[in-house]
């Protein structure tokens, strides 16, 4: 039986992660406070307890069994980023009126508090509900531009009341005109909640282009590269590839699935694509070093180049760069955080230990 990640962590590391509200430890441990009887996730925004009053648990169930109750600030029984119950009402309304210009009065008519809605969207999407919905409608218009006989017709079909209003909103969202946007590739993105923290999924008609943890330091750079180098214009939304990805990721984290059949589209150089294909050939429960990958590609002297291509992988888990380790067995290089890398390997049946984490790398690194 592989050693569980929680059993490899020392108390000092968990205390440091709690005090820093480190998102890379989401799903790895839970913090319980003896003096209050409450347990929290590592990223809880509440005032930090004194270290001597803290005990750690491997799961929410373990904390409950030990007599602690869930925190009302960070809600440790739900997944971070999980939508509240009232979102069902809002989503159903959006489906009924996909081109409507929603106002606070419309939310009140649905018995929803506009302030609560605004706060949740700001916290989870970085903008108000109305701005998010306008971007969503613009994404739908972008996807339909190539099929419209007139570019301005797309604005009217998606709820914009004037040509000038549509063109101005389009320019703000995509930094280009609808006419130029007609030749761009529509990239839709959505958040997928996982036990290790929320992930951003982005997909076009050919398949998933990006899947990264939202707190990955290189995420903004990756999105800019997709726009500047590969001609994508991105907007919130969902297509068939993202819809297929959600249940498959859920089954993966539940230990019910190890392989994925979601279509992928991976823009990159021929060498990068060969490395990413080699990553997909590593079976679950196994690891490879950079040198072993280079040898498998027939280029035994290209371990450093393989490492660079591995770090350029934009699709976590499905293109499993977490299965690549250093030649000495250390868990070096993972953009989502080394503790997440350990947790993913544990989930796939690979034993982990503290001495496998390279002290030179630290928790965050620029690997795949």
Encoded tokens for 206: 């050919």
Encoded tokens for 341: 């890398």
* Closest residue by Cα to residue 134 from 88, 91, 179, 103: 103
Catalytic residues: 40, 321
Coil, strand, or helix at residue 338?
A: helix
Give the CA distances from residue 188 to residues 140, 202, 224, in Å, rounded to whole numbers and listed in that order. 9, 5, 14
Q: Where are the alpha helices (DSSP H) in the chain?
A: 5-8, 11-19, 60-65, 86-96, 104-109, 114-125, 129-144, 153-157, 163-174, 178-181, 219-228, 240-253, 270-280, 290-296, 303-311, 338-347
CB 40 within 8 A of CB 74: yes
Encoded tokens for 200: 């951003």
Cα 184 to Cα 234: distance, rounded to the nearest angstrom: 10
* Closest residue by Cα to residue 329 from 366, 289, 282, 285: 289
* Long-range CB contact pairs, 36-39, < 8 A, 24+: 37/67, 37/68, 37/69, 38/68, 38/69, 38/70, 38/71, 39/63, 39/64, 39/68, 39/69, 39/70, 39/71, 39/76
């Amino acid at each position: 039986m592989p050693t569980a990640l929680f059993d490899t962590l020392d108390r000092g590391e968990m205390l440091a992660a709690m005090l820093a509200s480190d998102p890379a430890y989401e799903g790895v441990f839970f913090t319980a406070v003896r003096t209050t009887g409450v347990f929290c996730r590592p990223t809880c925004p509440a005032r930090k307890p004194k270290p001597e009053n803290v005990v750690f648990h491997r799961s929410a169930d373990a904390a409950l069994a030990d007599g602690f109750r869930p925190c009302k600030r960070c809600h440790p029984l739900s997944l971070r980023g999980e939508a509240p119950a009232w979102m069902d009402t809002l989503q159903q309304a959006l489906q009924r009126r996909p081109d409507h210009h929603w106002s606070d009065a419309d939310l009140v008519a649905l018995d929803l508090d506009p302030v609560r809605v605004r706060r949740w969207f700001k916290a989870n999407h970085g903008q108000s509900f109305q701005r998010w919905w306008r971007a969503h409608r613009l994404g739908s218009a972008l996807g339909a531009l190539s099929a419209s006989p007139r570019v301005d017709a797309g604005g009217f079909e998606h709820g914009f009341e004037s040509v000038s209003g549509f063109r101005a909103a389009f320019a703000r969202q995509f930094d280009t005109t609808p006419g130029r946007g007609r030749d761009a590739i529509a990239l839709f993105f959505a958040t997928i909640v996982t036990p290790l923290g929320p992930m951003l999924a982005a997909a076009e008609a050919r398949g998933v282009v990006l899947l990264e943890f939202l707190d990955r330091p290189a995420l903004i750079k990756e999105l800019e590269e997709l726009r500047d180098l590969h001609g994508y214009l991105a907007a919130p939304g969902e297509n068939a590839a993202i819809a297929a990805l959600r249940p498959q990721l859920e089954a993966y984290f539940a230990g019910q699935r190890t392989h994925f059949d979601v279509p992928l589209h991976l823009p990159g150089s021929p060498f990068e694509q060969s490395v990413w294909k080699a990553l997909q050939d590593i079976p679950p429960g196994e690891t490879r070093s950079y040198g072993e990958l280079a040898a498998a590609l027939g280029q035994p002297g290209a371990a450093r180049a393989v490492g660079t291509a591995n770090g350029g992988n934009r699709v976590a888990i499905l293109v499993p760069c977490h299965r690549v380790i250093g030649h000495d067995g250390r868990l070096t290089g993972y953009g989502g955080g080394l503790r997440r890398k350990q947790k993913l390997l544990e989930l796939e049946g690979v034993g982990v230990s503290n001495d496998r984490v390279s002290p030179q790398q630290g928790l965050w690194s620029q690997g795949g």
